[in-house]
């Protein structure tokens, strides 16, 4: 780190010298332009390139010959590698082989394109597929993604309780598929966060601080886990949907589901209140209320597990459901704690 003194010129402007090594390494000459951008933390970014210029596109290569043996193992590894490249912010993906691409590899690429938001097939030959990401991060801001994840989870719970009461297996299977939409948004938020960490100018374009981007990322991870548990609840409801259950069991499960969604909504409302820049005390109060209400959910979950059931085919799924509802509350509490952690600096 170097320290430079600010000097005042005759016209009332202020000047500062730049390190000679930096100038030489970038090949900057006299009268060249230096671009400056102020940051929320009162620091300045200096660049020899225009700060409004789009960053260079990054391409990731996948040589199928080197990935692994033919079969399901290859598909799984390739899929995970594609998701990893997506999250790390690559713009283009080239999947190629010395010979003809296998049907398994092509299906894996198509599965990835279907699962992720943004990538499309730009070119395809018998031994190569090129993917291009067409999604502009600024068109999918953090707030919209978090809000959409919340809506999906909330409707999953509401529709599950209704479908279980009406013994509608088809609806429950459809609800299970909705979890993929939550994964999509979580991957997108992870991608945007890594892109911002690599290009701080993008953070300013998206009107988000690095600190808030990090907390959005943490909240998204909690929502993704809550979505997983909604899927677990759905699968276990399928196991008991045609069983003869104690009369009060459905009502208790529904009450616990409703309470878990209230805790989640209160936590996210606290975050939304924070983002709308209302008074920090109000947002912290909302977050704290969500944390306190989690005890009510725990009581309901204990009631579910205490219902006298002798049939093991009912007892085991019921306990899985209770555990997933309890974890839903815990992950929602994590969101509330993130809000408090984020806002504590703003309390006078």
Residues 235 and 218 both lie in one domain: yes
Give CA–CA dist 13/33, Å, rounded: 17
Range of the structural domain that residue 29 is part of: 7-47
Give CA–CA dist 310/312, Å, rounded: 6
Kindly state whether residue 2 falls inside one of the protein's structural domains.
Answer: no
Distances (CA, A) of 6 to 13, 19, 37: 10, 14, 18
On the question of pLDDT at 292 being above 60, the answer is yes
Q: Total domain count for the chain?
A: 3
Residues 247 and 205 both lie in one domain: yes
Residues 204 and 112 both lie in one domain: no
Identify which of 121, 123, 132, 142 has the alpha carbon closest to the alpha carbon of residue 85: 132
Residues 108 and 159 both lie in one domain: no
Average pLDDT over the chain, rounded to an integer: 90
Residue 72 pLDDT class (50, 70, 90 cuts)? low
Residue 54 pLDDT class (50, 70, 90 cuts)? low
Give CA–CA dist 231/229, Å, rounded: 5
- Find where tokens 């509401």 sit: 158
Residue 74 pLDDT class (50, 70, 90 cuts)? low
CATH code: domain of residue 213: 1.20.58.220
Contact indicator for 149, 186 with CB cutoff of 8 Å: yes
Kindly state whether residue 324 falls inside one of the protein's structural domains.
Answer: yes
Residues 280 and 156 both lie in one domain: yes
Over residues 7-14, mean pLDDT: 76
Residues 97 and 166 both lie in one domain: no
Residues 269 and 326 both lie in one domain: yes
Return the pLDDT at 13. Answer: 80
On the question of pLDDT at 1 being above 90, the answer is no
Residues 181 and 251 both lie in one domain: yes
CATH code: domain of residue 124: 3.30.110
pTM of the model: 0.86
β-strands 119-125, 92-96 pairing: unpaired
On the question of pLDDT at 51 being above 60, the answer is no
Return the pLDDT at 280. Answer: 81
Residue 190 pLDDT class (50, 70, 90 cuts)? very high
Over residues 62-85, mean pLDDT: 81
Kindly state whether residue 233 falls inside one of the protein's structural domains.
Answer: yes
On the question of pLDDT at 287 being above 70, the answer is yes
Return the pLDDT at 315. Answer: 92
On the question of pLDDT at 276 being above 80, the answer is no
Over residues 175-203, mean pLDDT: 93
Residues 220 and 284 both lie in one domain: yes
């Amino acid at each position: 780190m170097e320290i430079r003194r600010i000097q005042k010129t005759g016209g009332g402007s202020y000047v500062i010298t730049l390190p000679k090594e930096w100038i030489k390494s970038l090949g900057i000459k006299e009268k060249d332009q230096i671009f400056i951008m102020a940051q929320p933390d009162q620091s300045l970014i200096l660049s020899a390139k225009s700060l409004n210029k789009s960053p260079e596109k990054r391409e990731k290569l996948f040589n199928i010959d080197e990935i692994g043996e033919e079969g399901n193992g290859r598909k799984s590894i390739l899929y995970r590698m594609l998701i990893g490249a997506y999250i790390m912010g690559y713009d283009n993906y080239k999947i190629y082989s010395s010979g003809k691409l296998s049907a398994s590899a092509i299906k894996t690429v198509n599965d990835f394109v279907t699962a992720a938001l943004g990538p499309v097939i730009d070119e395809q030959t018998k031994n190569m597929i090129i993917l291009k990401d067409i999604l502009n991060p600024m068109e999918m801001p953090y707030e919209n993604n978090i809000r959409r994840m919340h809506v999906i989870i909330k409707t999953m719970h509401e529709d599950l309780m209704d479908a279980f009461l009406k013994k509608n297996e088809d609806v429950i299977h459809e609800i299970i598929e909705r979890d993929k939409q939550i994964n999509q948004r979580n991957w997108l938020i992870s991608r945007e966060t890594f892109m911002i960490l690599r290009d701080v100018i993008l953070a300013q374009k998206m009107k988000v601080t690095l600190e808030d981007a990090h907390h959005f990322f943490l909240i998204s991870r909690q929502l993704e886990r809550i979505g997983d548990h909604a899927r677990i609840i759905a699968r276990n409801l399928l196991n008991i949907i045609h069983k003869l259950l104690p009369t009060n069991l459905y009502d208790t499960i529904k009450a616990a589901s409703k309470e878990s969604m209230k805790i989640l909504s209160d936590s996210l409302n606290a975050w939304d209140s924070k983002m709308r820049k209302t008074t920090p005390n109000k947002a912290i109060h909302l977050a704290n209320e969500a944390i306190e209400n989690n005890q009510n959910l725990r009581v309901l979950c204990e009631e579910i597990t205490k219902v006298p059931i002798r049939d093991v085919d009912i007892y085991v799924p019921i306990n899985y459901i209770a555990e997933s509802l309890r974890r839903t509350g815990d992950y929602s509490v994590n969101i509330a704690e993130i809000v408090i952690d984020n806002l504590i600096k703003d309390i006078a």
